[in-house]
Structure 1
Amino acid sequence: MQQQPGWRSGATLSLILAMSALALSACGGRKSGEPSNPPKTQLSAEIRRTAFGIPHIKANDEAGLGYGIGYAYAEDNACLLAEEILTVSGERSKYFHQVEQSYPMEGAPSNLDSDFFYRAVNSEAAVNAALNAQSTEVRELLRGYVAGFNAWLDQPQSGTVNAVCRQEPWLRKIKEQDLARLMRRTAMTNGSVSFAGGIGAAQPPGRAQAAPVAAAAVPSARPRRTASNALAVGGERSDNGRGIVLGQPHLAWLNNARFYEMHLTIPGKLDVMGASLPGLPVIGIGFTQNFAWTHTTDTSAHSTLYALQLDSKDPTRYIVDGQSIPMGRREISIEVRNGEGQLVKQTRTLYTTEYGPLVHMPQMELNWTASRAFALRDANADNHRMVEQWYAMNKATSLEELKQLNQRIVGNPWNNTLAADKEGRTLYMNVSPIANLPNLAQCWLPQSAYLDGQNAFTLDGSRKACNWVDDAGAPQAGIMAGSRLPVLENRDYVQNANDSAWLSNLATPLTGFSPLVSKQDNAQGLRTRQLLTEIQSRPKKLGMADLQDMALNNKVYLMQAIQDDLKQFCASRNWQAEAGRTCAALGSWDGRADLGSDLSYVYLRDIWAGTQYRMQGDAAIWAVPFNAADPVHTPRGLRYRDPALAEALALALDEVTADLNAKGLPLATKLGEVQVATVGGRRIGIHGGIDPMGVLNAIETERLVNGVFEVNGGTTYLQVVGFDAQGPVAQTLLAYSQSSDPSSPHHSDQTERFSRKQWIALPFSEAAIQADPAYRSKTIKQ
C-alpha cells in the first residue's frame, strides 16, 4: 500500500491507526495515536547573555537544554510564540475578527480560512504522529522547551515586559503538541502553507466558496516563496586556506519567520551557535567548532498539484483510471468571534483525495468547476524529520558526516545546504523530500502563467501511473532517496541564490537530474548572476570582508545588465523636462540601493515593472537573449530600437515620474528617508532592493503609505563565518533584532546596526563569552 501525504481517506487512516495500536500494545498499551512520553529527568540550565541579548545556553542533557531555550525564548518573544501557537492551532477567529488577515502581508489568508486550514492539516492524529516520529533526544528537547516556556510564564512579571499581551486570554501555557504544530507549519511553508487560503476555503461548485472571507485569502499573485543567498568559499579561494560561509536568508519580517540567535551547549556532545525559528529547539543556520553552514530555498518539487477529472454526476467524485472515487470529507467546526464580540460556531466540510486536499484559488487559475478540480500533494505533510535532521547537523563533527546525515535522514524540508569547514572543504547539497515520478513527461500538464516555471508542477490526476513512486532508499513513501540528489564537494566555492543546482559552481555544473529536482540550461535569476559576477570579478583570494561586502553593497544587477542601452535610449528621444531629467539621472546612476542613494532604484523598479506589464514579460525586452553557454551575462541589454519596447519604456518612465513626483517623492529624495522599518514609533532607514532587481540584500516593502515604503521582508539573519587556528570567527546581523517585545532593550538595537552596516562579532569560546562586557548569567531549575 502506497502511503499518501496530507489527509487520508477514512479507511486508510483507520488502518494506519489500527496498525499503530497493535504495535503500541506491546509497549504498555498506550492508546492509539497518542504521543509517547519519554522518562522524566530534573531540568536545569545555565543561561548566559552577551551583547544584544544573545543567550548562550548550557545544560547536561537535551531536556535541560530545551528548558533553557524555552525559558530564554519566552523572555524575548513570549507574545510572538503564543500568537503563532494560536495560528497553528486554528484558533485565530476565536480572538480576532474572522475577516482580518492572519498576518499583515498582501495575499495572506483571512483568520477564518487560516483556522480551517490548520485545523485540517494539524489534526490530532497528524500532530500525535509527528510527535511519535521524533527520537528520544528530540522529544527531550521538546519536553524541556515546553517546561521552560511555562516556567517563565509562572514567574511574577515586573516592569513592562510583554505588557502588550500579558492580559490576553491567548497567552497560555503550551504543550508538546503545540510545538509539533509549529514544526509541521515550518516544514510545509513552501508547500501547503502557501495555499492555505485556497485549501481552507475550497468548496464544490454550486456552493459559495466561503465568500466574502475567501476573497481575502486569494493571493493577487503566486504564493510567496522564501529565498536566500549563500556562498561557501574553500581553501583554494580563501585568503587563509580555510573555509568561509556567507548565509543571507530572505524571509518575511513577521512572527512565524523571525529568526532567533542562540548558542547551545551540552558539554562533550554539542556546541553550536546560530539562529532558529519560533518553537524549534535546534539551530537551523549556524556554525560549530569545525564547520559553518547555511540554507537557501531550493527549486525542487516538494509538492505537486494534481488536475482532477471529476465525475459528471457529482463534483465531489473524481475519475482515476476510469473509476469514480469519492472524495474524503471532514467536517470541521471552529469558534468565531462575530461583529458583536460574541462567539459563534462555523462549520465547513473540507475535501481531500488520495493525492491530498482540494485547492480553490481562482486568481491562480486553480478553479473547482463541475468538470475539473485541483488537489495538492505535499511531501512535507508527512516529513516529521526536520528537527531530527537539524539536531543531527548540530551534533555533526565533519562535512562528511554532515553529508551522510542529510542523505540518510532527508529531513531538510525545502532547502539547499551549503557549508565549509576549517580545513577549507566546501559542500553543496540539494537534498530534501522531492517527488519521485520517473514518468514525469507523460504526466506533466502545463497549467497556468502563475505556476509555469516555478517548479509548481501540475500532474494528471486521472491516472494512477502519475502518482509518486516509492524509492527503496528513501525514508518516506513517494520521495527520492538522498543518494540520488545533487551533491557537490570541492575546495573552490559553491553558491546558490534560489536557482537550481545546475550552476552551484560554474566550472563543474550539476546536470542530468529530473526537472522535479533541478533544471539546467535555463536563464538564471538576477541575484544568482550578481553573486556569480561578484565571485568572478574579485581577487582570486577572498576574505571575510569580501563576503560581507557582497552581502550588503546593494548593487542592483539589473542596472549592470541594461545601463549602456538605457543611456542610448534616453539620448534617442525628446522628453518632457521632468521625464528627461529622470532618464538622464538613471543613465548616470551608480546602480546601488544605499541609504544615501537617491530614488533611482525606486524609479527603475517601477519603470521596469511597468515595462514588463506592457510587454507581457521579459522576453521582448532583452537585446541579447539567454545563451546557456553564457548564463552569467545573458540575457542583457535593452532592445530599445524596437518601436514597441521604446514606446512601452517611454510610457512607463513618464507615468512613474509623474506619479512619484505627485506623491512627494522626487528623484533627489534619499532612499533611507522613505524605505524604513518603523520600530517603537521611530523610522529606521533600511537599504537594499527587491529580488527581481538582482540585489543580494533583498528587501521587500509594503506599498507607499504616509510617504514611506514600510519594510516587511528580506534579509533576516545574516552571517559570515570563517575560521582561524582557534576555531570559528563569526560576524552576524539580525535585521529586526532579537526581541519582538517593544519594551525590550533588544527590540531594535541590531536593526540600527543593520541600517548602518555595522556587523557584530559573536563570542563562541568560553573565554570570549565571559569576557563580553554585557555578560550576565543565571541558572534555572525545575
Structure 2
Amino acid sequence: MPRRRTRARLPIAVMAALAVTSTTASAGTPAAAAPAAGPDRPTIRYTEYGIPHIIASDWEGLGTGYGYAAAKDNVCTLADTYLMVDAQRSRYLGPDGRASPGQNQNTTTNLNSDLYFQRLKDDRVVERLLDLPAPDGPEPEVRETVRGYVRGYNRYLAETGASGITDPACKGAAWVRPITELDVYRHAHAEIIMGGADALLDGQVNAVPPGTSAASASAGNTSPAKPSKPVKPAKPEEVAKGIRAALEANRRDSMGSNALAVGSQGVSGGTGMLLANPHFPWQGKNRMWQSHLTIPGKLNVSGASLLGLPAVNIGHNDDVVWSHTVATVAPFGLFDVQVDPLNPTAYLVDGAWERMTSQRVSVDVRNADGSLGKVTRTLWSTRYGPVTTSIMGYPLPWVVSAHVVRDPNRDNLRALNTWFGLDRARDVHDVVDVLETTQGVPFFNTVAADRAGNALYANIQAVPNITDEHARACLTETGKLLFHQTVPGSNAPPVSILDGKRSACDWPDDPDAAAPGLLDPHVQPRLIRSDFVGNANDSPWLANPEQPLSYPRVMGDTAAPRSLRTQELILTARKRIDGTDGLPGRGFTPETMGRLLFSDNSRAADLTLDATVKACRDVPFGLVLVDGNLVDVREACPVLAAWKSHDFTADSRGSWLFAHYWAYLSGGKRLGDLPWKVPFDPKSPVHTPNSLDSGNSAVRDALARAVLALRKAGVPLNAQLSDVQRITRAGEQIPIHGSLGELGVLNVITPGQVDGKFDVTFGSSFVQQVRFTADGPPEAYSVTAYSQSADPTSPHHADQTRLFAASGWVTGRFTEEQIAASPELRTKVLD
C-alpha cells in the first residue's frame, strides 16, 4: 500500500471557524474568508474564471461537491459519456453517428462503440473489479468519494431537470438521466483502457470467421452470414510495415504532452518547479477540468482531472507537483494463434486444439423511422483475449491464423488508487512508491518535482510482462520486425505479436507486479536529478541527456532519433539553466517558464528555415511543376526570409506558410528520412539530424505544394497566424497561437474539422506551472485553454480561452487567505 503520511495545512483558527460556523451562503453571494457552513456540509467556493475550491469534512462530502460543480459546468459532456459506457448511443442517437471511445475524436460509429461497451457490460468486467478488496479494488477513500460524486451530480440534475439545462447540446434530451456509482466506475475504466480502444475496437466488434460477415438484424433476428472473399496471407515485412504506419499515423494525430521538472540546481528563487503541458482534446469526454479539493488535515490538492474523475490527475499539493505524458509503451499486446482451416474457430495451443468462445452481444438501435430495433453480433475470444481483424484500420485477416488482443488495463481500476495516492504524496519518493505499489497508471509517464528540490521522471505503469528474454523466445517473425522497430526514427510503440501456439508465450506472472501478467515495476525506468528531467512523448531514453536510461525493450527504444519537440524541450531547459537563452539571469522562474512556453518557437524552423529560403531562391525562374501545376514560388521567398523569429505567435507572418511546407515535406515520413546532410548520431542525439539539403527536389516540391494550397484556399502567403488559426466561442472568433508538435513547438495546437467546421481539435489543455520555495505555499499559475465549461451559455465557456490567446495565466489560490482575497469569491453550500 502507498504511504499515507499527511499533515494539516489549514490555519488552526480557520479550522475552528469551519467547525462552528452555521451561516449559509447561496450561490452567487459574496462569501467570507472561511466556508460558510462548516466541513460537515460540502462547500464550493468559486474564484476567478469559475475555478471551484471544494472543501468538506470527509471523502463523501468532497465527492458531493466535486460532482455538483462538475455537472454545473459540463453536464452535457458528462451525460454523453455515461451514455457511451452504458452502450446506449445507438438507441438514442442512431447507429451511424460518431463516437469517441479512445484518445481521439469521433474514431468509430455509435454502433461499434455500443457493441464494444456492451460486451464489457455482459462480461461484468467492472463489477468484478469492484468486488475485489483494495488494493486490487478501489480503496475506501475512492469508494466514499465516488458515492458522494453520484449524489452531487444527481443533485444538480434534480435541481435543473433535463429541460432546465442551458447547454443546447443536451437540453431536454431523453438520454440525460441520474447516474449510479457503476456508471462512474465504468467511465473511469473506459478512460483507463482508452489507449487500446482506438486501435482495436473496430477490429474486435467486426471480427468474424472466414466465410462469414458481421451479422446484424433488427427485432432480435440475426441476419444470415454472407461469404467473404478469401484473403492471401501477407508477408511478415508487409504486415509489420502496415501496422507500424497505422500506429505512427495514430500517434501523430492523438493526445500527447510535455512535462518538465526542474530541481534545485535549475530553479531561481526556489527549490523545485514543474511545467505541466498536456495536449488533450478540446471537445468531448477527454476535456480536463480544474478544481481544488480540501479535507482539513487529510487532503489539500489543486489541479485538473479528466472530466468526471473525482480526483486531481495533474496538479500539486503542499509539497509535490506532478504531471503525466503519453508514454511509448503499447497499451496492448497481440497473439498470433493458428486456426484449423476446416474449423477456423478452433486454434492450436501446445499441440492440442481449443475452441474459441463465442458471445452474442446485442444493442438497441434507433431505426430511420424512429422505431427501435436490435443489432446482434457474435464476437469471438480465446484464452488470451478477443479476436481482432484490424489495428487502426489496417487489416489483420483471419485466415490460417487469427490475431488476438490482450489488454494489461482491462482488469485495472487501480489507477483510481494511484491518483488518490499522488494527491497525498509528500515528496518524489512517495510518488515512486505510489506508482510501484498500485501499478495503475495506464499508458503515461509521470514527471514530478518536490519542495526538497528533486526532479523525477518515472515510467512506472501497467506494462505487459515481456522481458527481453521473453521477447526473444516468443515473438513471431512479424512481431520481431514490429517490436524492435528496425526502421530508424519510427515513433510507433513496440507492439508485440507473440506465438499463441505455445502457452508458455503468454505474459508470465511476476510476484513483484501488482497484477497478473504485468512487468515488475522495479525494473521500469525512473530518474531523480537536481537539474531537470522531462518528457515530450518520446521513450524514456533521454529524460535527461546527461544520464541516458536503459530498460526492457517493451518500454520503448534507445539510441534512436528524438522528436523535434523533445529536442526543443531539452534545449529550452539547458539554455535557461545555463542562462544562454537571451533572457535575464539563470534558472527558471514563473515568468521565464511562461515566456519560454508561449514563445511558440519552432525547432523545425531553427534547423531548416535558412536552407528552405535558399532552396526557394535557387528555383530556376521561380517555377516548380508539381502535381500537374506550374507554381510560381518567388513570392514565398521574402515571406519566409522575413520570418526571423521562427515562432508561431499570433502576430507571426510566414509561420502558416512554413507549417504547410513542413507538412508536405515531412508528411508520412520519419524525422530521419528527411533530406538531411548530417544524419542522426546517437552520440549527439539532441543536435542530429541537421543541415537540410536545400538542393534536394523534395524541399522545392514541398514548398510549391504549400504555396499552391494557400493560394487555392485564398490565404495570403504572409498572413498573420491570428488571421487563420482561430476558435469560435459563442460567435466570437478567438485567435489561437501555437502549432503542431511535428514542428517542434512545445505549445501544441492542432486544428481540424469539428462538426464540419474548422476548429482546434486538441493541443495545450490544462497548462500549469508550480514553484516551491523553502517554506511558504506553492506558487501556482495555470490556464485551461478551452475554459472550464463546454456550455456556450456559461460565463466560463471562453474566459480562459481569451486568456490563453493572450498568453496569460491565472494566479493560483491555494491557501485560505488567498481564496478569501479573491475579488470574485462566491460560495455554494450543499445542504
**TM-score w.r.t. length of structure 1:** 0.89
* 2:297 paired residue number: 268
The verdict on how the C-alpha distance between 1:532 and 1:617 changes in structure 2, with shifts beyond 3 A counting, is closer
Structure 2 residue 120 is the aligned partner of structure 1 residue 121 = yes
Q: Which amino acid aligns with 1:653?
A: L
The verdict on how the C-alpha distance between 1:717 and 1:566 changes in structure 2, with shifts beyond 3 A counting, is same
Counterpart-to-counterpart distance in 2, 1:155 and 1:704? 31
* 2:108 paired residue number: 109
5+ residue gaps, structure 1, are 1-41, 213-217
Counterpart-to-counterpart distance in 1, 2:160 and 2:687? 61
* 2:229 paired residue number: none
Deviation at residue 762 of structure 1 after TM alignment: 1.3
For the aligned residue pairs, the C-alpha RMSD in angstroms reads 2.5
Q: Is the 8 A contact 2:107 2:198 kept in 1?
A: no
* 2:237 paired residue number: none
* 2:784 paired residue number: 734
Q: Is the 8 A contact 2:85 2:186 kept in 1?
A: yes
Structure 2 residue 427 is the aligned partner of structure 1 residue 398 = yes
Please, which of 582, 585, 594 is the counterpart of residue 548 of structure 1? 594
* 1:282 paired residue number: 311
Structure 2 residue 194 is the aligned partner of structure 1 residue 189 = yes
* Superposed counterparts of 1:291-690, under 5 Å: 291-361=320-390, 364-438=393-467, 439-444=470-475, 445-446=479-480, 453-511=492-550, 513-538=551-576, 539=579, 540-574=586-620, 575-576=622-623, 578-589=632-643, 590-598=645-653, 600-612=654-666, 618-641=672-695, 646-690=696-740
Deviation at residue 168 of structure 1 after TM alignment: 0.6
Q: Which amino acid aligns with 1:494?
A: V
The verdict on how the C-alpha distance between 1:686 and 1:368 changes in structure 2, with shifts beyond 3 A counting, is same
Deviation at residue 351 of structure 1 after TM alignment: 1.3
* Superposed counterparts of 1:132-151, under 5 Å: 132=131, 133-151=137-155
Structure 1, residues 716-758: CA drift from partner, whole Å, max 9, x if none? 0000111233111111000110011111110111011111111
* Superposed counterparts of 1:89-238, under 5 Å: 89-103=86-100, 108-123=107-122, 125-132=124-131, 133-156=137-160, 161-209=166-214, 221-222=249-250, 224-238=253-267
The verdict on how the C-alpha distance between 1:326 and 1:621 changes in structure 2, with shifts beyond 3 A counting, is farther
The verdict on how the C-alpha distance between 1:111 and 1:159 changes in structure 2, with shifts beyond 3 A counting, is closer
Structure 2 residue 715 is the aligned partner of structure 1 residue 716 = no
The verdict on how the C-alpha distance between 1:775 and 1:616 changes in structure 2, with shifts beyond 3 A counting, is closer
Counterpart-to-counterpart distance in 2, 1:578 and 1:703? 29
Q: Which amino acid aligns with 1:181?
A: R
Deviation at residue 423 of structure 1 after TM alignment: 2.1
Deviation at residue 206 of structure 1 after TM alignment: 2.4
5+ residue gaps, structure 2, are 1-38, 132-136, 218-245, 580-585, 624-630
Q: Is the 8 A contact 2:255 2:280 kept in 1?
A: yes
The verdict on how the C-alpha distance between 1:675 and 1:122 changes in structure 2, with shifts beyond 3 A counting, is farther
Please, which of 60, 65, 84 is the counterpart of residue 63 of structure 1? 60
The verdict on how the C-alpha distance between 1:780 and 1:173 changes in structure 2, with shifts beyond 3 A counting, is same
Counterpart-to-counterpart distance in 1, 2:429 and 2:392? 46
Deviates more, 1:220-229 or 1:122-131: 220-229
Structure 1, residues 264-285: CA drift from partner, whole Å, max 9, x if none? 0111000000001122111000
* 2:233 paired residue number: none
Counterpart-to-counterpart distance in 2, 1:750 and 1:122? 38
Deviation at residue 355 of structure 1 after TM alignment: 2.1
Matched residue SS, 1:310: strand
**TM-score w.r.t. length of structure 2:** 0.83
Deviation at residue 595 of structure 1 after TM alignment: 1.2
Matched residue SS, 1:379: coil
The verdict on how the C-alpha distance between 1:614 and 1:67 changes in structure 2, with shifts beyond 3 A counting, is closer
Counterpart-to-counterpart distance in 2, 1:441 and 1:424? 41
Q: Which amino acid aligns with 1:779?
A: V
Deviates more, 1:333-342 or 1:577-586: 577-586
Q: Is the 8 A contact 2:257 2:278 kept in 1?
A: yes
The verdict on how the C-alpha distance between 1:452 and 1:560 changes in structure 2, with shifts beyond 3 A counting, is closer
Deviation at residue 90 of structure 1 after TM alignment: 1.1
Quick one: percent identity of the two aligned structures?
A: 34
Counterpart-to-counterpart distance in 1, 2:671 and 2:343? 39
Counterpart-to-counterpart distance in 2, 1:134 and 1:676? 42
Matched residue SS, 1:222: helix
Q: Is the 8 A contact 1:271 1:289 kept in 2?
A: yes
Structure 1, residues 621-650: CA drift from partner, whole Å, max 9, x if none? 222111110000111222343xxxx22332
Counterpart-to-counterpart distance in 2, 1:211 and 1:689? 43
Counterpart-to-counterpart distance in 2, 1:291 and 1:617? 36
Q: Is the 8 A contact 1:359 1:366 kept in 2?
A: no
Q: Is the 8 A contact 1:677 1:710 kept in 2?
A: yes
The verdict on how the C-alpha distance between 1:376 and 1:107 changes in structure 2, with shifts beyond 3 A counting, is farther
Deviates more, 1:308-317 or 1:717-726: 308-317
Counterpart-to-counterpart distance in 2, 1:141 and 1:569? 61
* 1:29 paired residue number: none
Counterpart-to-counterpart distance in 2, 1:519 and 1:587? 37
Q: Which amino acid aligns with 2:687?
A: H
Matched residue SS, 2:195: coil
Q: Which amino acid aligns with 1:81?
A: L
The verdict on how the C-alpha distance between 1:353 and 1:640 changes in structure 2, with shifts beyond 3 A counting, is farther
* 1:3 paired residue number: none
The verdict on how the C-alpha distance between 1:777 and 1:694 changes in structure 2, with shifts beyond 3 A counting, is same
The verdict on how the C-alpha distance between 1:719 and 1:363 changes in structure 2, with shifts beyond 3 A counting, is closer
Counterpart-to-counterpart distance in 2, 1:165 and 1:404? 42
Counterpart-to-counterpart distance in 1, 2:122 and 2:199? 18
Please, which of 770, 790, 811 is the counterpart of residue 761 of structure 1? 811
Structure 1, residues 382-439: CA drift from partner, whole Å, max 9, x if none? 1110111100111222222222121111111111111111221111111101111232
Counterpart-to-counterpart distance in 2, 1:568 and 1:234? 42
Q: Is the 8 A contact 1:106 1:219 kept in 2?
A: no
Q: Which amino acid aligns with 1:591?
A: H
Matched residue SS, 1:632: coil
Q: Is the 8 A contact 1:564 1:637 kept in 2?
A: no
Structure 2 residue 71 is the aligned partner of structure 1 residue 74 = yes
Q: Is the 8 A contact 1:241 1:423 kept in 2?
A: no
Counterpart-to-counterpart distance in 1, 2:387 and 2:481? 16
Counterpart-to-counterpart distance in 2, 1:636 and 1:350? 50
Deviation at residue 99 of structure 1 after TM alignment: 1.2
The verdict on how the C-alpha distance between 1:293 and 1:704 changes in structure 2, with shifts beyond 3 A counting, is closer
Counterpart-to-counterpart distance in 1, 2:358 and 2:719? 56
Matched residue SS, 2:108: coil
